[in-house]
Amino acid sequence: MYSPVAEQPLSAEAAVAAIHDYAALRFYQGAVLGVSFDAGSGCNRLCRFEQGQALSLLPDSFSVRSRVHEYGGGAWCLAADHACFVNDSDQQLWLQSLGTDGGPRQLTQAADTRFADLQHDSRHNRLIAISETHQAGSEARNRLVAIDLQTGALNTLAEGADFYSSPALSPDGTQLAWIEWDHPWQPWCSTRLMLAQLTDSGGIEQPHEISNSLAFAWAQPRFSPQGQLHVVSDRDNWWRIEVLTEQGLRPLPGACPNRTEFTTAPWQFGLSTYGWNAEGELLVLGQSEGYSRLWRHDAQDWHPLELGLMPARLHALVCDAARLACVAEFSDRLPAILAIDSELTADDPDQCDILYGGLVPEYTPSLPVSLSVYVQGLQVPYFLYRPVGVPSDKALPLVIWTHGGPTATTAPVFKPAIQYWTQRGFMIADVNYRGSTGYGRDYRMQLAGQWGVSDVEDVEAVAQDLIDQKLADPGAIFIRGNSAGGYTTLSALCHSGIFSGGASLYGVSDPARLSQLTHKFESRYLHWLIGDPEQVPDCYDQRSPLQHADQIRVPVIFFQGEQDRVVLPEQTRCMADCLKANGIRVETHYFPNEAHGFRQPKNQATVLEQELAFYRGIMG
Domain ranges of the chain: 369-619
Orientation angle between helical segments 454-468 and 484-495, nearest 10 degrees: 70
pLDDT of residue 1: 44
Mean pLDDT across the stretch 569-586? 96
Q: What would the mean pLDDT of 177-192 be, rounded to a whole number? A: 97
pLDDT digits (tens, 9 = 90+) for 455-500: 999 999 999 999 999 999 999 999 999 999 999 999 999 999 999 9
- Whether residue 4 has pLDDT greater than 70: no
pLDDT band at 41 (very low <50, low <70, confident <90, very high): confident
Q: What are the Cα distances from residue 280, in Å, to 226, 228, 249, 342? A: 8, 11, 19, 10
pLDDT for residue 307: 87
Helices and strands of the chain, counted as H and E runs: 10, 36
pLDDT of residue 348: 60
Query: Are the C-beta atoms of 328 and 314 separated by less than 8 Å?
Result: yes
CATH number for region 369-619? 3.40.50.1820
Residue 5 predicted with pLDDT over 70: no
State the pLDDT at residue 468. Answer: 97
pLDDT tens by residue, 353-404:
899 999 999 999 999 999 999 999 999 999 999 999 999 889 999 999 999 9
Query: What average pLDDT score do residues 40-48 get?
Result: 87
Q: CB count, 10 Å around CB of 299?
A: 11
> To the nearest whole percent, how much of the chain has pLDDT over 90?
86
Which range is least confidently modeled, 12-21, 386-395, 550-559? Answer: 12-21
Average pLDDT over residues 168-174: 97
Label residue 326 exposed, middle or buried (CB < 10 Å: 0-12, 13-18, 19+).
buried
Q: Where are the beta strands (DSSP E) in 422-471?
A: 427-431
Cβ atoms 340, 308 nearer than 8 A: no
Which strands make up the sheet holding 336-341, listed edge to edge? 313-319, 323-329, 336-341, 352-357
Q: How confident is the model at residue 281 (pLDDT cuts 50, 70, 90)?
A: very high
Q: Report CA 408 to chain centroid distance, whole Å.
A: 7
pLDDT digits (tens, 9 = 90+) for 403-417: 999 999 999 999 999
What is the rounded CA–CA span in Å between residue 399 and residue 322? 45
Give burial (CB, 10 Å; 0-12/13-18/19+) of 234.
buried
Q: How confident is the model at residue 347 (pLDDT cuts 50, 70, 90)?
A: low
CA–CA distance, 247 with 562 (Å, rounded to integer): 53
In the predicted structure, residue 572 carries a pLDDT above the cut 80: yes
Q: Report how far residue 319's alpha carbon sits from residue 340's, in angstroms, rounded to the nearest whole number.
A: 9
Radius of gyration of the chain from its Cα atoms, rounded to whole angstroms? 24
Distance, in Å, from the CA atom of 134 to the CA atom of 111, rounded to the nearest integer, reads: 9
Q: What is the mean pLDDT of the chain?
A: 94
Structure confidence at residue 6 as a pLDDT band (50, 70, 90) = low
**pLDDT higher than threshold 80 for residue 173:** yes
- What's the whole-number mean pLDDT along residues 606-620? 96
Considering only the C-alpha atoms of the chain, give the largest distance between any 2 of them, rounded to a whole number of Å. Answer: 73
Supply φ then ψ for residue 527, to 5 degrees. -60, -35
